[in-house]
Structures are given as structure tokens and as C-alpha cells.
Amino acid sequence: MGLEKFNLLKTAKSKSNKTKAKPQDSKPQPTDEFTGETSALDELAALYLDQTEDKKLDHTPSEKTAADTVDLKKDDSTILALDIGTAYVKAVIARQSKSGTLDIIGVGRARQSPNNMYSGAIADIPAVVSVCERALSQAERMSGTTSKLAVVGIAGELIKGNTSTVRYRRKNGNKPLSEQEMALIIKRVQDRTGEQARKEIADETNNPAVEVRLINSAIVSISIDGYKISNPIGFKGTDVVIQFYTAFAPLVHISAIEKVCAELSLDLLAVAVEPFAVCRACLGDDVESDFSAIVMDIGGGTTDIAVVDDGGVEGTKMFGIGGRSFTHQIAVTLGVDFDTAEKYKLTINNPAKVPADIKDQMLIAIRRNIAVWLSGVEITLEEFTLTDMLPNQILLCGGGAGLAELQDVLATTDWFKGLPFARRPVVHLVNSSDIPGIQNQTKASLDYSYITALGLLRVALDTLAGVPEESGIRSKLAKLLQN
């Protein structure tokens, strides 16, 4: 949405609140919730501030509706990415341009209450719906449109994303492999890995009757009679070996997401495992990419790790330590409440807000928790069964990734020496400018905490249109892999 239209929205709001609005010079300057420091007045900051003041001004329902829906138009060409995180809900609206890129036209963000989520999964559906409404309202007002087609992320320790190596012996090796036969192979692999995931989740939840659903799947590599190939269609051979990534989630988690979307009147296009979505964002349009990296999405309640090798997702795993764990340690160490500890954490490098003696205590608490978090990283990476070494590039994203001490420990200590790395991994904090094929057309600043939402947009585009028909395995089989 252009600046002129945005100003019209603000003018309309000020007129509707004319009798109650505070004087202009008393209006507080918006602050960035991630750094705690005063930020430039961008569209997202202004919308967040207006929304906060709406609550303070105690609007009647009719007044609020008139102000919030002004100039909004339904746009069927837009896609909504809804990242329901433990600490924040982020809503991003995008439109596909003529050149094939995705243009972000609206962004929203709203804070979650502590009890809304548990280990990355929805725990209170009505409360989460309310938070999603606030984030969605900001994105819609910024874009000037309403978007109904949505893709939603899912995370949590009960999400099972693994790469399996499957050997399939064909009855007639002289017959060229067809797409129909590949579809049959993929179906058999999905059924088998789904049963394995169900057993794992049943053991962890002590519920033998647990139901699971396939969320994402992708080919990692394929070989026929010992020869690695990129596209099996049309090849002859007897012994087919496929490395196949699949991710499953408990049906109860999926049902909660579906209920939230129903309450928001959204059409749910897809549910995506969040670290898988981040990998898709990094890969972009290059379906034959040789991109390799370890992706760490550090959220409020969990840390999600994905390993990508030669353009294929080797697996996704999660453990239940995120940014809120650091906040809790600070609260216990300083003897303050959770909200105060969160403010201290976000402003730790601001001497005006965090005195030196308090900062020293905080650093002790943070380093103590980092040691535990780092153990979780090591154990999780050990669970990946790779034939080669781990990639030496680590990409960090998610709200918790902004903690400088966490970045430093990964980049400077010897934590990696017990793992199959060829050399010290290089650590990089991902920003929206690093993501190919997605352009931010708003005045809102999109940092590392929005990368998951950008990945969800990429999954949405894959689901809607598939990948262009080219010669590679990932393009030829894209539609076969969609569940």
C-alpha cells in the first residue's frame, strides 16, 4: 500500500476517534518490540501503535469496525502466510508479480499470551484466534486488501520429519520408469514412513491410538542400479533407491490449526512444517540448487533444525528450548516477573535501560541457559544419519536468533568438534534480503524473525502452481509429492 493511501487510512481513523483521541504531541513514539529501542516510523509500527491505542480508547464495536475496514477490498490474487509462534503471531500478505516473484504488500504482528501455546503447538484456540485477528488486521490495513487463501506453519516436538532410504526392486527392469510407477513408489514410501511416525508419537505420548497426518514430503536423492540420477522418468533398471523426506504431525495439532482458520474465515491452502518452509525460502526458484546448510529456526518455545544437502532436505527435528527459556532464567536470576525479564532481554545492550550490574547478572543467566541449549543442538544434530559430513554453513532465523550471545557461542566456541563437521561452521543471521524471489514492497522492516513466514509463502506458491515443467526430479515430481 502506498504512503498516500496509508495516510488516508490514518486520517479516516483520526476522524472516527475525533472526540476521544489524544493530542498529537502526546502520542508516544513507536518502539521496536525485538530490540526495545526507538525505531523509524514504518507502516507496521504505525499500525501496531494505532491498534494499541484503539484498545486504550475503549471503542464501541461499531466505531472500531468502521475504522478497521475502511478501504479494504477483497483480492483473490493474494496469499496469506500465518506464522503462529509461541511468542508472536505474524501475518504476511503477498501477491505474485508478472515476473513470477512474490511481492509482500502487508505485514502484521501480535504478541501471544504465555498460555496460548505449549511446546510450539496451539494450547488455547480462542485465545490464539484473537491474537491472529490482531495480526491479520494490521496486515490487511497495510495492504488495503483482505486475503482469504492461507498457508499456516506448524512446529513442536511431536512433528516427525525424517529422511528414509527406501530400496524398491522393479519386476521388469527393461521397462522405462513412468510417472505412474513413481507415484506408486511414493505412495508406498509415505504409507510406511507414516506408520513409523505414528509409532514414535504413540510412544512419546503414551497414546497407542494416536492419529497422524502427512504434512510435507520431498525427494532428496534417487539412484537406479547404483547410478545417481536427477530425473528417473524414462530410465530403465531394476534396483531403485530413493532418499525420501516426509513430515508427519498428530491430527490434534492439525485440527487446532484448521479450527483457527475456520474461526478467521480463512481458506486453508496448506500446513507446512516450519523448518521445511524455511528451507524452501532459502532454495527459492532454483529446483536444481546445490544449496547445503543447517537451518536453525529459534522460536519462543522450540528450536527447529533442518539439514539441507545438495538442495534436498535431509530431515527436520525440534527440541523444546527457545527464547522464552532464556527469559525465564533471567526472571529467576533477577527475581523479577516474566514481562520485566523479557524487556531486559530485549534491551540488554542499552545502558540507559539495563544498568551494568543487572547486565552482568543477566549474562550469567543467559550463558547458563546457552549451555543447556547448545547441548540440545548437539544431541539433535547427532540424530541426523548422513552419509557425508554436516554442512559447514549455519543459518539462523526466528525471534530468538537475535540474541547476540547465542550467535557468538556458535561462531567462536569448539562445540562442533564432537560432530561430523569438516571444519568450523560459518554462522549467518538470515534476513529477508537473503531470500530469493520474494520482494518487500512495504515500508515495514522484515528481519530474521519473519523468515519462517516468507518460507510459508514459498510453500503456498508451490502448492498453488507446482514447479515449472523442466528436466529435474524436483520439478517433474513436485505434483506427485503434494498431499
φ, ψ dihedrals at 284, nearest 5°: 65, -145
Position 346 scores a pLDDT of 84
Beta strands in 384-433 (DSSP E): 393-397, 426-429
Residue 109: pLDDT over 70 = yes
Position 280 scores a pLDDT of 83
Higher pLDDT, 210 or 15: 210
Give buried/exposed letters for 244-273 (b at 16+ CB in 10 A, else e).
bbbbbbbeebbebbeebbeebebebbbbbb
Asked whether the beta carbons of 132 and 264 are under 8 A apart, the reply is: yes
Residue 472: pLDDT over 50 = no
Position 51 scores a pLDDT of 55
Residue 62: pLDDT over 50 = no
Helix (H, G, I), strand (E, B) or coil at 58: coil
Instruction: Name the DSSP letter for residue 320.
Output: S
Reported confidence tier of residue 155, pLDDT bands at 50, 70, 90? confident
Question: Longest C-alpha distance within the chain, in Å?
Answer: 82
Mean pLDDT computed over 158-180: 84
Mean pLDDT computed over 62-82: 63
Give buried/exposed letters for 441-457 (b at 16+ CB in 10 A, else e).
bbbbbbbbbbbbbbbbb
Q: Cβ–Cβ contacts within 10 Å for residue 482, how many?
A: 12
The total number of residues written for the chain in this structure: 483
Name the residue among 230, 264, 23, 45 with its Cα closest to residue 136: 264
Position 138 scores a pLDDT of 94
Q: Name the grid cell of 2.
A: 502506498
Question: 377: part of which helix (H) or strand (E)?
Answer: helix 356-382
Instruction: Name the DSSP letter for residue 112.
Output: P
Reported confidence tier of residue 49, pLDDT bands at 50, 70, 90? low
Give the whole-number percent of the chain exceeding pLDDT 70. Answer: 79
332-358, pLDDT tens digit by residue?
A: 999 999 889 988 888 888 888 888 889
Place of cell 534417487: 222
Residue 269: pLDDT over 70 = yes
Q: Name the grid cell of 179.
A: 510417472
217-260, pLDDT tens digit by residue?
A: 777 778 898 888 877 888 889 988 887 788 888 888 899 999 99
Q: Cβ–Cβ contacts within 10 Å for residue 177, how many?
A: 21
Higher pLDDT, 3 or 373: 373
Higher pLDDT, 276 or 476: 276
Asked whether the beta carbons of 295 and 305 are under 8 A apart, the reply is: yes
Domains in the chain, ordered, with CATH?
3-154 (3.30.420)
Instruction: Name the DSSP letter for residue 390.
Output: B
Residue 146: pLDDT over 70 = yes
Instruction: Please tell me the pTM assigned to this model.
Output: 0.76
270-304, pLDDT tens digit by residue?
A: 898 888 888 888 887 765 677 889 999 998 888 99
Asked whether the beta carbons of 104 and 446 are under 8 A apart, the reply is: yes
